[in-house]
Amino acid sequence: MSSKRLIIALDFKNFDEMSKFVARLDPNSCVLKVGLQLFISEGNKVLDFLSSKGFDIFLDLKLHDIPNTVGKAIEEIAQFNVLMTTIHLQGGMEMIAAANQAKGRIKILGVTLLTSLDEGDTQMLYSNNFDNQFNNLINVAEKSEVDGIVCSSKELNLLSSSNLIKVVPGIRNQDLSDDQKRVMSSKEAYKNGANYIVVGRPITQSKNIDEAIREYS
Ligand code: C5P
């Protein structure tokens, strides 16, 4: 596993915007996250470009489908130089087994409950409260031997004994008054067991990118 612990989310519209930003980064200081927007707009060439510049890549497509489809999709992802990729734990044991079988050297991270869901959603969807449903998904993660999970900073304290790699978005060192609600500072998140934190706008929109990277590393 790499020693870098800061993942920068490349939430850009297109290749031009992304590559201008990436030109200012050092591959030794961060991992880069490619999400749905950039992957749908520009496709595989983003992965080849970042890899040619020496960056470790986190491909965050949050796959959730029947086992055969997810296995085949992971097989394709495994052709690229990607460090980590995501699937939904809610896809179940068989789907996760198919992903594990196809992953090659790639680390598979299971998404627990999206931070956009709350108690009302878990009651409606699963007739279960949020914490119980979260714990059910952690059981799935542990039994299925995924490499790690994506969870909010709020759930880190429920995971202190787990050996799963913990990847944590929703990090803010200053109040940006944006759409992130359940936030934590980078220092607290690392202290509470995050192996990686995911940071987007506080770095991509910073006036001093180098200083912001130092602050969140
Ligand atoms: O700009 P910001 O720091 O909010 O970006 C966080 C990144 O982490 C975004 O790419 C977002 O999609 C992702 N993310 C998140 N919350 C989750 C899962 C992923 O904010 N639960």
- List active site positions: 60, 62, 65
Instruction: Write out the residue range of the structural domain in which residue 111 sits.
Output: 6-216
**Could you tell me what percent of the chain has a pLDDT over 70?**
99
Cβ–Cβ under 8 Å, residues 6 and 197: yes
Q: Residue 53: inside a domain, yes or no?
A: yes
Stronger pLDDT, 163 or 49, i.e. the higher one: 49
What pLDDT shows up at residue 140? 96
Among 122-136, 180-194, 202-216, which stretch is predicted with the lowest mean pLDDT? 180-194
Pocket test residue of 85, 137, 198, 201 for ligand 1, highest count of atoms within 8 A of CB = 198
CATH, residue 139: 3.20.20.70
Q: In angstroms, rounded to a whole number, what is the distance separating the alpha carbons of residues 184 and 195? A: 14
Interval 190-208 mean pLDDT: 96
pLDDT at 2 over 70: no
What pLDDT shows up at residue 118? 87
pTM: 0.94
Q: Residue 70: inside a domain, yes or no?
A: yes
State whether the beta carbon of 201 lies less than 6 angstroms from ligand 1.
yes
Q: Residue 153: inside a domain, yes or no?
A: yes
State whether the beta carbon of 151 lies less than 6 angstroms from ligand 1.
no
26 is in an annotated binding site: no
Convert the pLDDT of each residue in 113-146 to its tens digit: 988 888 999 999 999 999 999 999 999 999 999 9
pLDDT at 1 over 50: no
Q: How many domains does the chain fold into?
A: 1
Stronger pLDDT, 19 or 180, i.e. the higher one: 19
Q: In angstroms, rounded to a whole number, what is the distance separating the alpha carbons of residues 92 and 90? A: 5
Q: Residue 1: inside a domain, yes or no?
A: no
pLDDT band at 61 (very low <50, low <70, confident <90, very high): very high
Q: Residue 30: inside a domain, yes or no?
A: yes
9 Cβ neighbours under 8 A, 6+ residues apart:
33, 35, 60, 169, 198, 199, 200, 204
Q: In angstroms, rounded to a whole number, what is the distance separating the alpha carbons of residues 106 and 145? A: 13
What pLDDT shows up at residue 115? 80
Residue 122: C-alpha distances to residues 18, 116, 131, 168, 201 (Å): 36, 11, 9, 21, 28
